[in-house]
Chains A and B, each alone.
Chain A
Amino acid sequence: MCVTVPSDNSVIKVQGLEKTFPGDVKAVDSVSFEVREGEVFGFLGPNGAGKTTTISILNTLMLPTGGRAEVLGSDVVTQASKVRKGIGLVPQDLTSDEELTGRENIELQSKLYHIPSVEAAKRADELLALVGLTDSQDRIVKTYSGGMKKRLEFATGLVHQPKILFLDEPTLGLDIQTRTSIWEHIRKLRSETNMTIFLTTHYLEEADGLCDRIAIIDHGKIIALDTPDGLKKAVGGDVIEVEVAECNTDILELVRSIKGVTLLEGKCSGNKARMKVPESNAALPLILESFWNKKIAVLNVAVKKPSLDQAFLEYTGRELRDEDKGTGGKQATAAAKKGRFGRRR
């Protein structure tokens, strides 16, 4: 997804942003970053990391307690009304009016953005088609499924053709189908318009698959900011897991002694030897060969290329889904492949 190089023109500039809530709770702690025009920028972090607070400040819903933020060249504190004209928000919650029809919700939104009614009707048609709600546009939203409501929310946020679209946890709690369709919409916007998209998520694959750049945020601080590939590279190395009858330090010593294999890290977990090497393609045959020579029976082999969840683990010392357990870095990585890392709200 990071094929296209976004222009250098920054549409969001954040300098030392801080938000301290009463009771000395620091939700955002001197955060600085820039978002370039036309890119998809992701805030990745567990619940309570400060993602929604940052979005609320950028959306002029909340005042920062320190630092400054500029959106489309306007200060979010002093020039809020200028900021509001250029941004669109698809909030975490379903905020459509349940008593109105889908179409009426979009048209109401048009009126809030002072779009003339002829133009509003045209855009409503287009957006309803885009999110596949044309057939149910005249039904009361109350009768919609969760996925339909979310798609309507998405359409509503686009009605005034914002320069920056903020998506707060766009696929939280959605079924796979709806999630995939939301992702498609985001990709479509990315490729067909010059809209900048700022999204928050605690789904690794969402950040990985959609974003040009990702900021990993934890405890209100940005701890890493790079392209998905850059973040993965920084983790350094592939992990080879070899299942044997009994893993012990001798086996790890054996691997360490192999010529041409640099063992960055090695440990036994159960009867698996977990070995981190800079590059697995060349190392794996050599390792297996030496095991063969020493008559060590290999029961199973797995290679883990660097993934964003590993990167997250590396930077924060814990996995995304361990957010409640503090620094629970020892949790098994097996479950991390399932695609859903966060806790449901």
Chain B
Amino acid sequence: MFSETFALVVRDLKRWYRTPGQIILVFTTPLMWLLLFGQAFNIGKLAQGAPGIDIREVFGGATDYFSFMAVGQTTFIILFGSLFSGVSLIWDRKTGFLSKLQVAPISRASIPVSRMLSTVVKSLLQAVVVLVLASLFVFIPGLSGLRFSPDFGILEALGISAFLILLGLSLAALFVALGLIVKNEETLFGMINLLNFPLMFTSSALIPIALMPSWLKTVAGYNPITFVVDGMRQLVFHTSVGAQYSIGVDLLGITIFAALMISLGAVLSRKALLRT
């Protein structure tokens, strides 16, 4: 089980970093998002206009919008990476590579699990790039960067990794399973688009919950991404000011979501890989 899973993860990662332009995309995509949302789309100015509001209450503990959204940005990276994790399985089915795996005496589980793990590794690396790039923005004249709390340390880093890994595993579990079930990319792309924007915009990743209409507040309160960004912001800014939930509840929320999605993914993948 472990050796073949590891071999398949290595294979996925090799395919990834060898794709021309992939490394450039790892840097440019987050950069674009950070510039677009963090600087141009600056909600901070709106919020600052209102007197008597502790800006940190609105921005989940951050003192500016850019810091607020830079943390939210990492969940997008995870979200997108995971949503597309199943696409390559459709290709593997078309080229016959999947049949080759099915003929081999390997654990069937290694097929979806290896794809989930490689997806998480890839998107976690990208998320780190986002955080590093965002904090480097401070060196660009006229821009403010992501301001980590001075208390941010190794434990906090591990904490945010845990949040991102759980989110990545949950979504990848589902979309890898869908990649095994669905036989053509068009259908899968349709499903990706269906979930993509609702998941993004009903969370507090980009827009502070305080600024949402009340119905959206309710929806956002249950969005798994909200649990993740809420927990991460408390770790990055080292404060519970402006937090939606306590960090324990955030962790519990995403853990329950992960358990549900991984179970669902396991059932679906198993079914998809059964012989007919």
Contact = CB atoms under 8 A, between A and B. Distances in A.
Given A62-B275, A63-B275, A97 B11 contact: yes
B203 to A, nearest CB: 34
Contacts of B101: 112
Interface stretch (B14-22, B55-63, B245-253): B14-22
A interface, over-half SS:
loop
B96 A95 contact: yes
Nearest to A21: B276
Interface in A206-231: none
A63 B275 CA distance: 6
A169 to B, nearest CB: 12
B19 A112 contact: no
Contacts of B7: 108, 111-112
Interface stretch (A81-89, A194-202, A274-282, A316-324): A81-89
A31 to B, nearest CB: 18
Nearest to B16: A99
A61 B11 contact: no
A81 B14 contact: no
Contacts of B275: 60-63, 80
Interface stretch (B64-72, B103-111, B212-220): B103-111
B104 A99 contact: no
Interface string A91-112: 1111111111000100011011
Interface in A32-91: 59-63, 80-81, 84-85, 87, 89, 91
B97 A97 contact: yes
Residue in A84, A99, A112 whose Cβ sees the most chain B Cβ within 10 Å: A112
A94 B96 CA distance: 7
B4 interface: yes
B106 A95 contact: no
B45 interface: no
B96 A59 contact: no
A109 B3 CA distance: 12
Contacts of A95: 95-97, 99-100
B250 to A, nearest CB: 38
Contacts of A325: none
A111 B99 contact: no
A91 B105 contact: no
Contacts of A63: 275-276
A134 B6 CA distance: 26
A97 B19 CA distance: 13
B18 A113 contact: no
Interface string A104-124: 100011011110000000000
A167 to B, nearest CB: 13
Contacts of A60: 102-103, 275
Contacts of B276: 62-63
B15 A61 contact: no
B200 to A, nearest CB: 30
A162 to B, nearest CB: 10
Given A99-B19, A100-B11, A100-B15, A93 B105 contact: no
A91 B104 contact: no
B103 A84 contact: yes
A59 B99 CA distance: 10
Interface string B74-116: 0000000000000000000001110111111110000000000
A100 B14 contact: yes
A95 B11 CA distance: 14
A189 interface: no
Contacts of A108: 7-8, 11
B104 A112 contact: yes
A99 B18 contact: yes
B95 A85 contact: no
B245 to A, nearest CB: 43
Contact of B95 (A93, A104, A112): A93
B4 to A, nearest CB: 6
A61 B97 contact: no
A112 B106 contact: yes
Interface in B154-213: none
Contacts of B100: 89, 91, 95, 109
A140 interface: yes
Nearest to B275: A63
A85 B105 CA distance: 6
Nearest to B94: A93
Contacts of A61: 99, 102-103, 275
A81 to B, nearest CB: 6
A98 B95 CA distance: 10
Residue in A111, A114, A140 whose Cβ sees the most chain B Cβ within 10 Å: A111
Given A100-B15, A104-B14, A87 B3 contact: no
Given A60-B103, A111-B4, 12 more contacts: A85-B105, A91-B96, A91-B99, A91-B100, A93-B96, A94-B95, A95-B99, A98-B95, A100-B11, A108-B7, A111-B3, A114-B105
10 smallest CB-CB distances across A and B, nearest first, come from: A111-B7, A95-B96, A84-B105, A112-B104, A93-B96, A99-B15, A63-B275, A85-B105, A95-B100, A89-B103
10 contacts: A60-B102, A60-B103, A84-B105, A91-B96, A94-B96, A97-B97, A104-B11, A104-B14, A111-B3, A114-B4
Interface of A: 59-63, 80-81, 84-85, 87, 89, 91-100, 104, 108-109, 111-114, 140
